[in-house]
Amino acid sequence: MIIRNANVFRNGRFEQADVLFNDDQILKVERNIDAGGHQVIDAQGADLYAGIIDCHIHGGFLRSFQANVKKETWEKYGDPETQARYICKKVVENGVTSVMPTIGDLTVEEYQEAVRLIRRIRRDIEGADPFMFHFEGAYQNPEHHSSFNHDHDTLPSREHTLAICGNDLSDVCLIGIAPELEGSMEYLEWLCSKTKVHAEAGYTKASADTIRKAADLGLDQTTHMFNGFEYMHHRIEGPDVGIMVDDRIKCQLTLDSYHVSPSWCKLLIKIKGIDKIYGLTDLSSHSGLPEGVHHLEDGRTIIAADGFIKDEKGTIQSGNNTMDQIMYKARHLVGLSKEEVGQIFTENVAGCLGIKDRGRIEAGRRSDFVLMDDDYHVLKTIIGGRVAYERK
C-alpha cells in the first residue's frame, strides 16, 4: 500500500514524500514511488504523522485499564476485559495507535490482575496496541498530594516490582518513584542497571540534589512535569529545578494550557530543549463524563468542566481531553509551532523512551499512521498497515 500527496512529518519537519508499507512495516519513504500494482491512499494534502503512542493513559470514556473496576459498573460498561478493549478501540479515533496502560495505587494482587488482563487482550486486540506498561503510582510520596487515597503506599523494592508484574519486566516501560523514599537509591541502582525499565520521578518532595543522585543511578524520566511536584521557589532547590538543570532527564508535559500554563510550557522547552519533551493525555476512567457534578460509586464527588475533571476542592484529578484535542490546544492555546506539536506528540515519545519499532515514519518501523487536517481532526488511522478508523 502507498500513501501519496501527504505532508509527511518526520525528523522534526514536514516534507512531500510517498510512503510504501505492508502489514508488518514501512518499506520506503521517498518521492514518486512506483505504484507497481499497490493500493494507493490519496491523502489529498493532509498531514501524515507516525501513529501516536500515548504513554500515560489510565483509562477513558468512563472505563479503566485497572482490573479492579467496581462490579457496579459492569452492567453499564462491561467487565474489566470489555472495558480495556473498548478503550483501545476508541482511542484510534483520536490518532492513537499504541498505548501504555498506566496503572497504580493498587494491592499486589490487583496489580497482578491488571497485568494479566492486558497481556491477555494484547494477543488479539482490535485498536491501539497496549504494548507496554506504565506503573505511575507504584512508589509515590504519600505526603505530596492530599487529595489522593494512599491505601497501598509501598516503599520501592525489587521484590515488590517483580511481584506486581509476575516476575516479567520485558513489557514494562516506566515505573514512577519519589526518589526521597527510603530504599530508593538501592532500588534505582537495580532497576536502571539490571533491567530495561525507565525510572521516572513523580509525586515527589525530593531536593534537587536527590534528583541528581537518582539520575546518577539512571533515573531519566519524569511523569507529567510540574504536576505532582513541589511548587517552585527561588530559594528552594526542589525537584523541578533538579530536573530542569539535568540534561539526562526527559519530561512528559501536559500541553492542554491548563495543567501547566503556556509560559511554563515554553520555559521548560527552552531550558530542556524540545528533544527532551514528550506529550501525553493522562486520561482517567472519569474522562468522557459530560460537564456537571457527578457522584461516584465510592462516595466521591467530582466535577467535569471545561475539559477537566476536578474534585470538590477544585484539585485536578485528570484531563478530559483526547489526544487530538490536546494537540489542537498545544498549537492554538499554548502557542507551539506545528512542527513542535508534531515532534512532541509523535517522534519524541519514541525517542525519549528508546522505542525502536514504532513512533517514527521510517523504513523498518511498524506501519502505524494517522492522517490529520490542519486543526488535528483525525481523518484516518492506520494500524499494522490496515485502516482502523476513517472519519465519515
pLDDT tens readout for residues 45-95: 999 999 999 999 999 998 999 988 888 778 888 999 999 999 999 999 999
Asked if the model's pLDDT at residue 315 lies above 70, the reply is: yes
Q: What is the mean pLDDT of residues 100-110?
A: 93
| Cell numbers for 147 | 487529595
Radius of gyration for the chain, computed over Cα atoms and rounded to the nearest angstrom = 20
CB count within 10 Å of CB 349 equals 26
In a domain, 371, yes or no: no
- The runs of H, that is alpha helices, within the chain are 74-77, 80-90, 108-121, 158-164, 184-194, 208-216, 239-245, 262-272, 323-329, 338-342, 348-353
Angle formed at CA 83 by CA 77 and CA 85, multiple of 5 degrees: 140
Please, are residues 329 and 339 in contact by the beta-carbon 8 Å criterion? no
| Cell numbers for 364 | 523498518
In a domain, 261, yes or no: yes
In a domain, 376, yes or no: no
Q: How confident is the model at residue 175 (pLDDT cuts 50, 70, 90)?
A: very high
Nearest to 256 by CA among 307, 326, 317, 322: 326
- How far apart are alpha carbons 39 and 41 in whole angstroms? 7
- The domain total for the chain is 1
Residue for grid cell 519533551: 277
Nearest to 280 by CA among 51, 49, 50, 56: 56
Asked if the model's pLDDT at residue 314 lies above 90, the reply is: no
Asked if the model's pLDDT at residue 370 lies above 80, the reply is: yes
Task: Please give the pLDDT value at position 105.
Answer: 84
- Residues found in the chain: 392
- How far apart are alpha carbons 88 and 80 in whole angstroms? 13
Q: What is the mean pLDDT of residues 143-165?
A: 78
CB count within 10 Å of CB 105 equals 19
For residues 309 and 214, the model is more confident at 214
In a domain, 91, yes or no: yes
Nearest to 69 by CA among 319, 309, 286, 304: 286
3-state SS class at 131: coil
In a domain, 34, yes or no: no
Residue type, 154: T
Q: How confident is the model at residue 145 (pLDDT cuts 50, 70, 90)?
A: low
Q: How confident is the model at residue 198 (pLDDT cuts 50, 70, 90)?
A: very high
In a domain, 293, yes or no: yes
What is the domain-level CATH number for residue 272? 3.20.20.140
Q: How confident is the model at residue 313 (pLDDT cuts 50, 70, 90)?
A: confident
Least confident of 112-121, 123-132, 139-148, 311-320: 139-148
In a domain, 313, yes or no: yes
In a domain, 231, yes or no: yes
Contacts of 25 (CB under 8 A, 6+ apart): 363, 364, 365, 366, 367
Quick one: which H or E segment has residue 56?
strand 52-57
Q: How confident is the model at residue 25 (pLDDT cuts 50, 70, 90)?
A: very high
User: By residue range, what is the domain housing residue 74?
Assistant: 51-359
Q: How confident is the model at residue 150 (pLDDT cuts 50, 70, 90)?
A: low
